[in-house]
Structure 1
Amino acid sequence: MNKRKPGFQPGQSGNPAGRPKGARNRATMALEKILEGDAESILRKAITLAQDGDPTAMRLCLDRLMPSRKDRPVTFDLPEIQTTDDLPKATNALLQAVASGDLTPSEASDIGKAVDAHVRAIEAADLHQRLLKLEEQTAR
């Protein structure tokens, strides 16, 4: 027996708009309230521990001062892709960059997605031009 609340359809969110922008998590707000008066002294203690060589406190302070980057700019020679015939040169350049260690596999994958989108745009433009030519020919 299926026990659904009336008015809700399968696959339909009860809150389609999602959480409003700027809304804060209740647990975060509760922790902030608890730490409200002690945050500065706790921070000073963490800094003192880090200065005294505590590796956990060091990591905590460094993570806040300089968070790890999600992405990094990558530089490598990617041949220009003007037609779909240029695609094998581009994918070969990606594979060579991974093989030589210039790119990580995940970086190559991300770049490959961009290359794929570019190729699809070339194909769509080419198809559009072909349709225009066909329409011109049939209009005569």
Structure 2
Amino acid sequence: MTEEPRKSASNARGRPFAPGNPGKAKGTRHKVTLAIEAILEGEAESLTRKAVELAQAGDMTALRLCMDRLAPVRRDRPVTFDLPKIETVDDLPKATRAIMEAVAGGELTPSEAAELGKLVDAHAKAIEVTDLHRRLAALEGGRT
């Protein structure tokens, strides 16, 4: 029974580039992409028109393609609700309560509330660091 030879770095696919060869420059386009663009050059308008015509004729795939391009799915949306000012760490419970009430009232989705919670957390850390910096400066000022 013969064993398969183990691949070493020298014969493995995807091995690192040779010394002094960093690979392709950032932003370099793939050959296939360039070839497709060359074939389609000047045809974009007629292809778009045909896709719209097919969509209007009832082709659901063409309709989905057109809608995805014309009105893409929104990832984020602006949210408006009353959030109290957070100036000290003592204000944090008020902010989290406002976020929870907005979710309970249907003003925010739970995922939007989670993102806002991250913002509140980052703001709280900034307040804490600022407070620690102020205290340290006061202590160092008392020594001199």
TM-score interval, smaller chain: 0.7 to 0.9
The verdict on how the C-alpha distance between 1:68 and 1:128 changes in structure 2, with shifts beyond 3 A counting, is same
Report the equivalent of 2:109: 104
Post-superposition shift, 1:92? Answer: 1.1
Letter in structure 1 aligned against 2:35: A
Distance in structure 2 (CA, Å) of the matches to 1:104 and 1:29: 42
Q: TM-score, structure 1 length as denominator? A: 0.77
Q: For the aligned residues, what is the CA RMSD?
A: 2.7
Q: TM-score, structure 2 length as denominator? A: 0.75
Among residues 117, 137, 144, which one is paired with 1:132 in the alignment? 137
**Runs of 4 or more above 4 Å deviation:** none
Instruction: State which structure, 1 or 2, has the greater radius of gyration over its C-alpha atoms.
Output: 2
Distance in structure 2 (CA, Å) of the matches to 1:64 and 1:120: 40
Task: Give 5+ residue unaligned stretches, structure 1.
Answer: 9-13
Letter in structure 2 aligned against 1:101: G
Q: How many residues align?
A: 130
How far does the alpha carbon of each residue in 1:69-112 deviate from its partner, in whole angstroms, 9 at most, with x for none? 22111111111100001001111111111122211122111111
Task: Give 5+ residue unaligned stretches, structure 2.
Answer: 1-5, 11-15
Distance in structure 2 (CA, Å) of the matches to 1:27 and 1:97: 49
Report the equivalent of 1:11: none
